[in-house]
Structure 1
Amino acid sequence: MTTGNSHPQTDIRRVEAEAREWFMLRGERSLDADEQSAYDTWMQQVHNRSAYQRLEQIDRSLAALAAGEEGARLRQRGGLDGFIEKLRGLFGNLGGAGPATGVAFACTLMLAVGLVYLAPAPQAPVAQAYVSELAQQRTVTLEDGSFVTLGGDSAIEAEFNGERRNVRLLRGQAFFEVTKDPARPFFVNAAGAEIRVVGTRFDVHAGSPLNPSVKVTVEEGIVDVASEASATAATPKVRLVAGQQVRVTEQQMSRVHTVDASRVASWRQGKFSYRDAPLSEVVADANRYRKNRIVIGTRELENLRVTTAFNADQADTLVAMLEQSLPVRVFKEPDGRVVIWPGTVED
C-alpha cells in the first residue's frame, strides 16, 4: 500500500482501493509498527482520509441495522433480497460518490453484508493496540478522529462501541486530543484511575512500579477523574478544568494542584520539568528515553523530592545533574546500568 497521492490529479479508484485494503486489514488484526506508521502517513492526505471515513460511515450504518430487528429479519431466509434495495438507497446518501466510486464501494458493502448480516450474531469490537519505542514519540489517530500522542516506551489499547469510547493506558505517558461526541463519552483507564471526558485535551502519566500513582493534567476542557475505590469513597470523583492536576491511586486521590496550562505535556517538545516530584518519577521518565537504565539503589531514595528540568536528548546526562544537586552517589556498572545510592555510601 502506498502512503499518499503521487499525482496532483487524485486517482479516485486507487485511493478507494487503498482505503478498502486498510479498512479490511485493520478489521482483521492490529497493525505492526511499520504498518501503523504507513497508515498514519496515508491518513494525513485529505482524499485518503475522506475515502476511509466513507467506509467507516457505511460500516456504522450496517452495524446499526444488524443490531436491531431489521438485522434479525435479514438473517432469516430470503431477508437478503430486500436488503439489496436498501443498499441502493445507502449509495445515494453517501454524497459526492460518482459512478466509479459507487461500483468500488459496492464491493466493500457486499463484503460487509457477508460479515455482519450473515453472521450468527454481531461480534464484539476488537481492541486496537498502539505502542511507541524507547525514546520515540508517536501520534496515532483513533477511529473516532481523536489523536493520542504517546511518550517514549508507552502503550495504549482502544476499544470503541456504539455507547462509549474506551482507552487503556498500559504504560508510560499519553496526551489526548479527544473529538467531541456527547452521545459517546471517552474513558481512559490507567492503573486504578478512570478519566471521563466528552471532548478535551489532557495528559495522563501512568506512573511506575516504584511510583504507581496516575497523574492527570488538563490543558483544555473539563475532565472527571475517579479512583477504582471511588464507589465507597466520600468523594466519588474530582472534576478538573484547564490548568489543574491530580494524582490518583487505587485507594485515593490527592488534592487538586494548579499548573501552567500552557506547559501541560511539555514533553511533547522534548522538555521535562519537575517541581517537588519524587525521584522515582524523574528516573522512570528518564528510563523511557535512554538505553541504559537508571536504578534507585534503596527505597529511602524513591520519594526524595526533586526539582529539576532536562531535555529528552539530555537523558543520558541526567544522572550527573542529580549527583550535583542531591545527596546521592552515582555508580555506573559494567553493563552500562546506573545505580543511585545515598550520598553517605562508601566508595
Structure 2
Amino acid sequence: MKLKLVPGGAETPEDRAAEWAVRMDSRDLDDAEFAEFDEWLADASNQEAFDKASDAMALFDGLDSDLPELAALREEAQSHSASPDRRWVPWAGGALAASIAAALLFFQAGEVSERLPGAPSQVVDAGTAPLAGQAVYKTVVGEQRTVALADGSKVTLNTGTEIAVDYSPRERIVRLVRGQALFDVAHAADRPFSVIVAGRKVTALGTLFEVRLDQNRLRVTLLRGRVRVDEQPAATAATKVPAPTFLSPGEQFSLATGLAPVVQSVDVEQQLLWRQSLVEFDDAPIGDAIAELNRYSAKPIVVRDPRVADMRISGIVKTGDADSFTALVGAMLPVAARKNERGEVELYHTP
C-alpha cells in the first residue's frame, strides 16, 4: 500500500482544515494563500476544525523530521496545493474515516522485499549444536524478537507470542502456543519443517510464511514458496481426514471457530506492517482497532459506548503507544479519554 495524496472535494471544515494543515506543514504560504486562509478561518466552525487538525499534526513532532515518507508527503502536498482548481487531501474514503486518516497516514509502507531483511532489535541465536533438541521462546506484550534456529531457519515472534521448538533427526517441529510468528525456513528436503497450531499442521516447502493464532481464529499467510495445511487426525472425529490445503504466495488460510476454512488473497505488505511496529486500519470500527492495538500494550484502552466503538477509522498507526492513539482520536472525533474506576484508559463520546 503506497500512501499518496488523492483528489478530494474538501467539502467539510474538517477536510479543509486537514488540507490547510498539510499545506502549511509542507511550505510557507504565499500572500494570496494567506489571504484565502484568513478569510476561511474567519468562520468559527472553520477555526475549531483547524485547531483540531493542528493539534493532530503536533502529535507528530516526536517523529524523525527526515523520514522519507513524511518528506514525500510534504513534497506532494506542495506540488498539488498550487493548483487553483483542485483540492488535495491525504486520504481516500468517507469523511469520518478521513478525519482520522488525515492525522495518521504519515507513513508509507515499502515493498515487502525491502522490509524483510530488516529485523527487530533483539536477535537470539538458538545455537549451532546438533540439529535436535527442544526449546521454548516467548515474547511479552509489546516485545518482538527474532530467533535464529540451529538449522539456519529464522522465526520472528510478535507481541505476546510463545513457540516450542522440537527438532529431531527426521523432522523439524515448531508448536505455536499463542500469538503470531513469521517463519523463514531453511531448505532441507530430508527434514520437513512444520508448525503445529490449533489442530492444524503447516508444512513448509521452501517457504516464508506467517502464522497467527487469536482466541477464536487461526490465520496462515504465505509470502514466498508454498505451504501445505493439514488437519491433524486427533483434531477430528471423522474417519477420513480432509484433503490438505496448498497455499500460493499472497494467499491466506483462515479458520474461525465454528466456520469452514477459507482461502483468499490478501495484501501481504499489510500483513507484515507489525515488523515495523505499525498496524493498518481500513475503514475499521474503533472497537476492532482498539482490540488490535491492545495486543501491543500493557496499558489497554477500553470502550464501552457503542457510539464510539462503531466509529470508523482508516490509517497506519504505531503500536505500543496508547496515549498517542487516544490523543489523535480525540483531536479528530467527538471522543475523549479518561481513567475509569478500574484505572483503565476509557474512550467515551463527547457532545
For 1:280-332, what per-residue CA distance to the aligned partner results, in whole angstroms no more than 9, with x for missing partners?
76434322322312345489999998754311254433345567889988653
- Equivalent position of 1:163 in the other structure: 170
Change (3 A) 1:130 1:255: same
For 1:156-182, what per-residue CA distance to the aligned partner results, in whole angstroms no more than 9, with x for missing partners?
111111222111222221111011122
- Equivalent position of 1:221 in the other structure: 225
* CA–CA distance in structure 1, aligned partners of residues 162 and 185 of structure 2: 17
Structure 1 position 147, deviation (Å): 0.4
Q: Does 1:147 align with 2:154?
A: yes
Structure 1 position 256, deviation (Å): 2.1
Aligned ranges for residues 1-150 of structure 1 at < 5 Å?
40=125, 53=128, 55-56=129-130, 127-150=134-157
* CA–CA distance in structure 2, aligned partners of residues 269 and 230 of structure 1: 38
Name which of 237, 240, 256 aligns with 2:263: 256
- Equivalent position of 1:270 in the other structure: 277
Letter in 2 for 1:217: T
Change (3 A) 1:316 1:146: farther
Q: Mind listing any 5+ residue stretches in structure 1 that lack a counterpart?
A: 1-36, 44-51, 61-124
Change (3 A) 1:270 1:39: closer
How does the TM-score come out when normalised to structure 2?
A: 0.52
- Equivalent position of 1:98 in the other structure: none
More helix by share: 1
Name which of 170, 173, 189 aligns with 1:182: 189
**RMSD of the TM alignment (CA)?**
3.9
Q: Describe the SS at the equivalent of 1:317.
A: helix
* CA–CA distance in structure 1, aligned partners of residues 309 and 181 of structure 2: 23
For 1:22-44, what per-residue CA distance to the aligned partner results, in whole angstroms no more than 9, with x for missing partners?
xxxxxxxxxxxxxxx7963xx8x
Structure 1 position 255, deviation (Å): 2.6
How does the TM-score come out when normalised to structure 1?
A: 0.53
For 1:194-214, what per-residue CA distance to the aligned partner results, in whole angstroms no more than 9, with x for missing partners?
322132111112113xxx201
Q: Mind listing any 5+ residue stretches in structure 2 that lack a counterpart?
A: 1-121
Structure 1 position 336, deviation (Å): 3.9
Q: How many residues align?
A: 227
- Equivalent position of 1:20 in the other structure: none
Change (3 A) 1:303 1:141: farther
Q: Describe the SS at the equivalent of 2:298.
A: coil
- Equivalent position of 1:72 in the other structure: none
Name which of 281, 285, 295 aligns with 1:288: 295
For 1:1-23, what per-residue CA distance to the aligned partner results, in whole angstroms no more than 9, with x for missing partners?
xxxxxxxxxxxxxxxxxxxxxxx
Change (3 A) 1:193 1:306: farther
Q: Does 1:312 align with 2:316?
A: no
- Equivalent position of 1:244 in the other structure: 251
Verify the 8 A CA contact 1:187 1:194 in the aligned structure 2: yes
Change (3 A) 1:241 1:299: farther
- Equivalent position of 1:172 in the other structure: 179
For 1:221-266, what per-residue CA distance to the aligned partner results, in whole angstroms no more than 9, with x for missing partners?
1122245556748953322111111211365444322223344312
Q: Describe the SS at the equivalent of 1:127.
A: strand
Larger RCO of the pair (alpha carbons < 8 Å, separation 6+): 2
Q: Describe the SS at the equivalent of 2:141.
A: coil
- Equivalent position of 1:197 in the other structure: 204
* CA–CA distance in structure 2, aligned partners of residues 241 and 221 of structure 1: 7
Structure 1 position 140, deviation (Å): 0.5
Verify the 8 A CA contact 1:219 1:262 in the aligned structure 2: no
Change (3 A) 1:199 1:310: same
Letter in 1 for 2:166: E
* CA–CA distance in structure 2, aligned partners of residues 265 and 201 of structure 1: 12
Verify the 8 A CA contact 2:326 2:336 in the aligned structure 1: no
* CA–CA distance in structure 2, aligned partners of residues 185 and 226 of structure 1: 14
Letter in 1 for 2:223: E
Letter in 1 for 2:188: D
